[in-house]
Structure 1
Amino acid sequence: MTTATSTTARKPMLPLSLLLLLLPALTFAQTRQELSLNSVAFFNTIPNPPSFVIPGQGVPLTITVALCSGSSSQPMPRFIVTNSTNNAIEDDPTSTTGGPDVFEIGLDDGLGTWTGEFPSGGVLAVEENGAQMTFEIGVSNDGPIHEHITSLPLLGDTTSNQALIFSHPFESFDRPKPSYPNYTLPVANQTLPSPTGNTPNFTLILSPTSNNLAARHQTGCFLSSQPKEGNITSETIWLKDQQGWRDQWLMGGLTPATNYTAYVLQDTNKVSGPIFFATKSASFSCPLVHSLPYCPGISYPIPLPAPPSAAPSYTTLNLPQNITDPLLSYLTNFTTTLTTFACGRDWYSPLVGCDDCQIAYRTWLCSITFTRCSEPSPSNPNAFTTGTVEPTATGLSALGPSKKHPDQKVFSALVPQDTARPEARRSPTLPPPSYAYDMLLPCIETCTAMDRACPAFLGIKCPTAQFNAAASYGVGYVDSADGDQGGGVTGNAADQWGNVWCNPG
């Protein structure tokens, strides 16, 4: 018996009549369609005869099946595969395999995957089972053609009618490590590198969550056939963080205060998602800022006037120079001071170096320079601070569930800004706003990561939860209030459901 693997459990013994139909098909292969290797075949109906020839290969093949119509509440076709040339069938009603080398490809969310060896070829048969659905079949010797990617898309942020969305990382980024004696750090206004490999073909699918796409077939052919919303204002490849390159979309034409579901299709057949988010209310005024090489992680609304020349957002092309110049000056001066240490020759830590310190400082500097606008969730409008925070405030952010109050919701680190006191604004680099807004505080981890990564002579100190950290940072979300990494009430700054607790920079 040849070896095989499947993503789902094998189902009980197949009907003998179906097996008798399936196995002799090898003898009459010339009357049946042969599936092409490393390609996808689409079918509007189940063909006659209802079976396909799988080409013989000296390496394992992966057979994938994707349903393109219908729903999980309807009867679904069954897909049975054999990689044997032996017509003998064990008639054992207790068998879980349906006979030697005969397997059913189980479907999960409309997708089925099976991998096995086909040294002499094989047959894939389809039982209609009362179903009327279109479907695709893929055969590959290089992994599954149809796939559900575990890495999720990423939400930058939204305005009332826009969304900034990133694909899952498609290529990792191996940051070059400088070495002594030529220990050189990136300049402040750095140029981001390009991917080294081929960029996949990405498609963004946006749909109102009320359409309930997440409860239907999670396949590329099904999702791409559904009604979509929004229009692409811009699309580019972006190195947002150390996780690697992503595709970036600025979407427009969305409806205010509406819940959306987002998927990303890679090369048509691989599905990443879903993630969920909500657009801001119609009165939300802060414009999006993104695509800044010196601050690659900035991808959210900032309290600025409307972009010039009716531009849809601020980028490095139209962001005022009186904002960028101070930031680049701070970063340049910091790098000059940092490199007075003998970076690469002497080591202040066995884990990190001067390059890690500069990255952490850049992230922190960008997060405090570019104040992030947000607003309470429509489903939880009171889940934020309701007044101006006093400098001595403590415990503002870490208000998650407790033993006494297990049902308490986690509050976001939102602080209303008083436009009557422009001198109290978070970032003196930004001009005083002409409208009221709510500020999402930076995560305290932007500071503590810098403290851990940099040498002690720089004198970096972060506020603590016992004193006034919560007056200027979101505390207790990612790490615990005591600093235990990953021990916060949420463990992350944001999640796939659209919640954003603090600004990670």
Structure 2
Amino acid sequence: MRRLPQSLWCLIHATFALSAQTISLNTLYSFSGASVSSDPTFSLPQAQQLTVSIAICSAGTSSLAFFVTNNTAITDPGQSTSTTDVFEIPLLNGFGNWTGTAPQGGFLAVQNVGQTSFQVAASTGALVHELLPSLPLLGDTTNTQALIFSPPFSTVESSLSTYPNYTLPPANLSTPSPPSSPPAFSLVIAPTSSGLASGPQTACSVQSTSSSGSVLSNNFWLRDDQGWRSQWLIDGLTPSTNYTAYVIQDQVKLSGPIYFTMKSPSFSCPLVHSLPFCPSTSYAVPLPFPQSPATSYDSSTLPQSISDPLLQYMTNFTTMLLTFPCGRDLYSPLQTCESCQDAYRAWLCTASFPRCAEPPPSPPSSSSPTPALLPPQSGSNARNPFLPNVTYSYQTVLPCLEVCSAADRACPNFLGIKCPSPQFNAASSYGVGYIDSGEQGVLGGGSTGVAQDRWGNVWCNAG
């Protein structure tokens, strides 16, 4: 879908006379029921394919209705108009749209507007107001901080090397520059008890809410092969509190909601994020609290005693992988040396950085599985001896078995990657049966189907 050029946007607050207000193409109009006539009418522009979108910005009367016609002889379309040329725009969660031919233009009428605030936009095919299908992504939370990502907005095209000059990315990846003209993103977080998700699900309604917490950092991050995302590190949230989060794109497109719960006041693990060699690592890890002024770990604050061994492992693995004639011979019709390296990197980072977690705040129901949590521990971490000792007690959630299985499937046999069997001892070191069923060779059918859902539940760590 094309994004409308920023230069075309214009926010207009107008007071109406009894005559119809003209709506121009590719212009955003914002109205308040207190400043318009009781039943305003708008003149629509000419277009072979015209799209009209409506967004309700404040709760109004239940009888509010929008009617559109592409018959210029009908200057005041409405419910009482008896003709097939009048169409009511249905509203769902505060959003509605109509698309049709309007070679001579048309009219849009509003009935029972009351004190409702709303937005109107007309375009040639592109939908202006939209509830995006992709959701924001929760990285993780601590007792006061949250790491949240926007939906992916731009993919990265990579060119494969060719034999004999076949190279793979280095252990410490160099992050490419983000797109030159990214969308404008904003984040809104509010306690779930505020009822934010029960109001109109439109950008103008959500962005009128005062967002909780303070933004420590906001940057673009290439987290995985899904593409670029906007990344927020938020502080100042309340421990043990349920929150609702939305991401707004270009002021008119809404993504969400997602839900999450802050950890308890005693939770001590800091967040680790923005590591070029582990781009998907974005969660709390059992580490000593970083030195002030830092409140979380990134590539500039993570100790070299942790990063250097991981970089050496990745370098050694890549050297071994390149003993195979990558680019000349095929070991799989589906996998390449690049996909093998990517899968191994994901496994290495997930296994090397244990994810701190807490039991669910209430006992799970019989239909809800228990997360793959290890018992509380303190001191050294047996899974990664390079992590320094901590003085607090913590729990971790096991990596998903599928992270190991992905590396097993993607890599050549001579590398000897083997994963524990679900029928025997896999559950002692991995979360089993959440994404896949656990049956040997069967993909899918797990108890949750995902490692993490939009409600903030984390069943196993997929990185």
Length-normalised TM-score, structure 1: 0.84
Equivalent-residue separation in structure 2 for 1:158 and 1:90 (angstroms):
51
Higher strand share: 2
Kindly indicate whether residue 65 of structure 2 is the aligned counterpart of residue 78 of structure 1.
yes
Kindly indicate whether residue 460 of structure 2 is the aligned counterpart of residue 502 of structure 1.
yes
Aligned residue number for residue 414 of structure 1: 373
Q: After TM superposition, list the pairs within 5 Å mapping 1:6-405 onto structure 2.
A: 31-45=19-33, 47-48=36-37, 50-57=40-47, 59-70=48-59, 74-87=61-74, 98-128=82-112, 131-196=114-179, 198-380=181-363
Indicate the RMSD between aligned Cα atoms, in angstroms. Answer: 2.2
Equivalent-residue separation in structure 2 for 1:30 and 1:206 (angstroms):
40
Question: 1:148-196 deviations in whole A, cap 9, x for unaligned?
Answer: 0000000000000000000011112333322222211000011122334
Shift of 1:438: 0.4
Length-normalised TM-score, structure 2: 0.92
More moved, 265-274 vs 478-487: 478-487
Instruction: Give yes or no for contact 2:68–2:77 (8 Å, CA) kept in 1.
Output: no
**CA spacing shift, 1:250–1:215, aligned 2, 3 Å:** same
Aligned residue number for residue 425 of structure 1: 382
Equivalent-residue separation in structure 2 for 1:116 and 1:489 (angstroms):
44
Shift of 1:92: 12
Shift of 1:40: 0.9
Instruction: Give yes or no for contact 1:91–1:99 (8 Å, CA) kept in 2.
Output: no
Equivalent-residue separation in structure 1 for 2:448 and 2:57 (angstroms):
36
Shift of 1:84: 1.2
Equivalent-residue separation in structure 2 for 1:189 and 1:128 (angstroms):
60
Aligned residue number for residue 398 of structure 1: none
**CA spacing shift, 1:303–1:85, aligned 2, 3 Å:** same
Equivalent-residue separation in structure 1 for 2:58 and 2:77 (angstroms):
35
**CA spacing shift, 1:277–1:492, aligned 2, 3 Å:** same
**CA spacing shift, 1:104–1:98, aligned 2, 3 Å:** farther
Shift of 1:90: 13
Aligned pair count reads 444
Q: After TM superposition, list the pairs within 5 Å mapping 1:436-475 onto structure 2.
A: 436-475=393-432
Deviation >3 Å, runs of 4+: 86-93
Question: 1:107-145 deviations in whole A, cap 9, x for unaligned?
Answer: 00011111111111111011116x321111011124111
Secondary structure of residue in 2 paired with 1:144? coil
Equivalent-residue separation in structure 1 for 2:77 and 2:416 (angstroms):
76
Shift of 1:466: 1.3
Equivalent-residue separation in structure 2 for 1:163 and 1:329 (angstroms):
31
**CA spacing shift, 1:90–1:276, aligned 2, 3 Å:** closer
Q: How high is the sequence identity, in percent, across the aligned residues?
A: 53
Instruction: Give yes or no for contact 1:288–1:300 (8 Å, CA) kept in 2.
Output: yes
Task: Give unmatched runs, 5+ long, in structure 2.
Answer: 1-16
Instruction: Give yes or no for contact 2:213–2:236 (8 Å, CA) kept in 1.
Output: yes
Question: 1:346-386 deviations in whole A, cap 9, x for unaligned?
Answer: 01000001111000000000011111101012123xx6xxx
**CA spacing shift, 1:184–1:102, aligned 2, 3 Å:** same
From the CA coordinates, give the structure whose radius of gyration is larger. Answer: 1
Instruction: Give yes or no for contact 1:90–1:100 (8 Å, CA) kept in 2.
Output: no
Instruction: Give yes or no for contact 1:368–1:426 (8 Å, CA) kept in 2.
Output: yes
Equivalent-residue separation in structure 1 for 2:383 and 2:87 (angstroms):
63
